[in-house]
Chains A and B, each alone.
Chain A
Amino acid sequence: MDFTVALAQIKPKLGCLDDNMALAEAAIEKGIAAGADLVVFPELALTGYFLKDLVPEVALRLDSPQMDKLKKLSERISIAIGFVEVSADFRFFNSAVYLEDGEIRHVHRKVYLPTYGLFDEQRYMARGERFRAFDTRFGRIGMLICEDMWHLSAPYILAMDGAMTLICLSSSPGRGVTESEGLGSAAAWQKLTTTTAMFLNCRVFYCNRVGYEDGINFWGGSEAIAPSGEMTDRGAILEEDFVLAKVDGGALRRERIFSPMMRDENLAITVKELKRIDREKDC
């Protein structure tokens, strides 16, 4: 099926749930007006990124009024959005929720919480424990949050779980200004999104935020990548943007006929060898 995805490259306000909810609603309305079928937001779109001690204050339960509002909106357009989730036992997760037809279809809790360099996520958040693909009206989808995608196993697991579309919600800080054309972090991500799509014959929708938090910039550059690994649409660098990408449904089928890597992938060998490695590591 052909469809249109909107990548809402917004600039959230740090710790201001209500303002960010309003930003999200405006982008959702814009997506509906533009005829988009799915709107994707960045990681922690409802809260901002460098939350530190604000984490518990901006966390939402899945039965919160904000989620109800998003559910209602998802009757008109499918939505993938990042927020801080609080569980019943008061663990806080860097989560992404996928809503469609008035329901929450899937919640992904970020597994790989970075703590190196300028990152400090694991100090404030609990770690997710699974990667699962799920069914949507666009076929099977897998969600990743930023650092998750840097771990080869994560998109691999989702692809083996049947995902043909990977959605990556991101808050990637810009760094590495050198003599080359783009930012170091942007160049690295662009390699990653295209390579992941090519290896797994999946579409990739990458949505990265913009704005500054305590002097750290988020570089934007959201992308839609075809299953061939070709970048088809890209948002502005370092500026707010709203990317509308037309997705050619047939391209995925053709790509998987042309290079049937996923068909030939041997899950049994992978599982066997990983089990062996795990066993031997224990020794």
Chain B
Amino acid sequence: MGGLTVNTKLLRQILVGFVRDEVYKVGVRKGVLGLSGGIDSALVAYIAAEALGPENVHAYCMPYRTSNPESEAHARLVAESLGINFKVIEITPMIDAYFTITPDADNMRRGNKMARERMTILYDHSAAVGGLVLGTSNKTELLLGYGTLHGDMASALNPIGDIYKSQVWALSEAMGVPSEVIEKKPSADLWAGQTDEQELGFTYREADELLYRMVDQRMNREELIAAGFDPAFIDNVARKVQGSHFKRRLPIIAKVSNRTIDRDFRYARDWGK
């Protein structure tokens, strides 16, 4: 599908420029990110290293005791190939301490807690080194709601939030992300053998083809069916997009005054910068 194919040279120029401009504007020179060993955070590390210089990028790998050791190895591989600052911070003690009070928590609660634990660590380190937290959620995940609110979905800036997973793959290749990282199956690494696509019930490529037409081209249901998509798949994805919309908005504020934050008190974040 033509629409998902991107001019990676131009995309790279825009995203690198974005990170540099928006980080410097805040008055800092550094970026902080979680490096999971997956492709999204690897790509953001590549973009950040080019934008800020590798010495100004601080990457943290935050494994839990059940995490796949390959994840840490791949995170290290990315950090070493870029020459960025790299540190491993185990989250096992904090997570295990928390779940002693609620040992019956299921995998989803545990996964969410881990994602939020990692984000508190990143924000703490962003204050320690004087940098901004860079987000690593792509457009596919954001639209499907396949991420943890205030966890991996939190950040100060997100360079890849408007590009689909397929485009993440293409740009990663163009930017030289190690092939081991590009080629492996996407996984949130929540439990042994877990893959995103198995959990979602469809592949990212299938989702991207549909989402691109649904969101970017604004095709309606009839047009999508005519384009060859299975109605059940369309409805499933549409439900996910709609059901996760709360994750993409600020908390709602009860309006009582004449000028309510974000509703009629409106300024760009870059106000005065």
Contacts and interface: CB of A to CB of B under 8 A. Distances in A.
- A and B associate: yes
Contact of B268 (A178, A179, A214, A238): A214
A122 to B, nearest CB: 14
A217 B14 contact: yes
Contacts of A16: 272-273
B21 A211 contact: yes
Interface in B75-134: none
Nearest to B13: A238
Size class of the B contact interface (CB-based, 8 Å)? 20 to 34
Given A14-B271, A174-B14, A52 B7 contact: no
A14 B271 CA distance: 6
B157 A178 contact: no
Interface residues of A, number: 24
Contacts of A51: 268
Contacts of A181: 7, 10
A171 B17 CA distance: 17
Nearest to B17: A238
A164 to B, nearest CB: 35
B270 A214 contact: yes
A51 B5 CA distance: 33
A15 interface: yes
Interface in A235-262: 238
Contacts, number: 64
A182 interface: yes
B18 interface: yes
A130 B181 CA distance: 58
B14 A238 contact: yes
Interface string B18-31: 10011001000000
A183 B10 contact: yes
A138 B11 CA distance: 40
A53 interface: yes
A212 B18 contact: yes
A101 interface: no
Contacts of A14: 268, 270-273
B93 to A, nearest CB: 36
B249 interface: no
A15 B272 contact: yes
19 contacts: A13-B272, A14-B271, A53-B267, A54-B271, A177-B6, A178-B6, A178-B7, A180-B7, A181-B7, A212-B18, A212-B22, A212-B270, A213-B268, A214-B270, A215-B18, A215-B157, A217-B17, A217-B18, A238-B17
Interface of B: 2-3, 5-7, 10-11, 13-14, 17-18, 21-22, 25, 157, 265-273
Given A52-B267, A53-B265, A178-B6, 17 more contacts: A13-B273, A14-B268, A16-B273, A50-B270, A54-B267, A178-B5, A178-B7, A212-B18, A212-B25, A212-B270, A214-B268, A214-B270, A215-B18, A215-B157, A217-B17, A238-B14, A238-B17
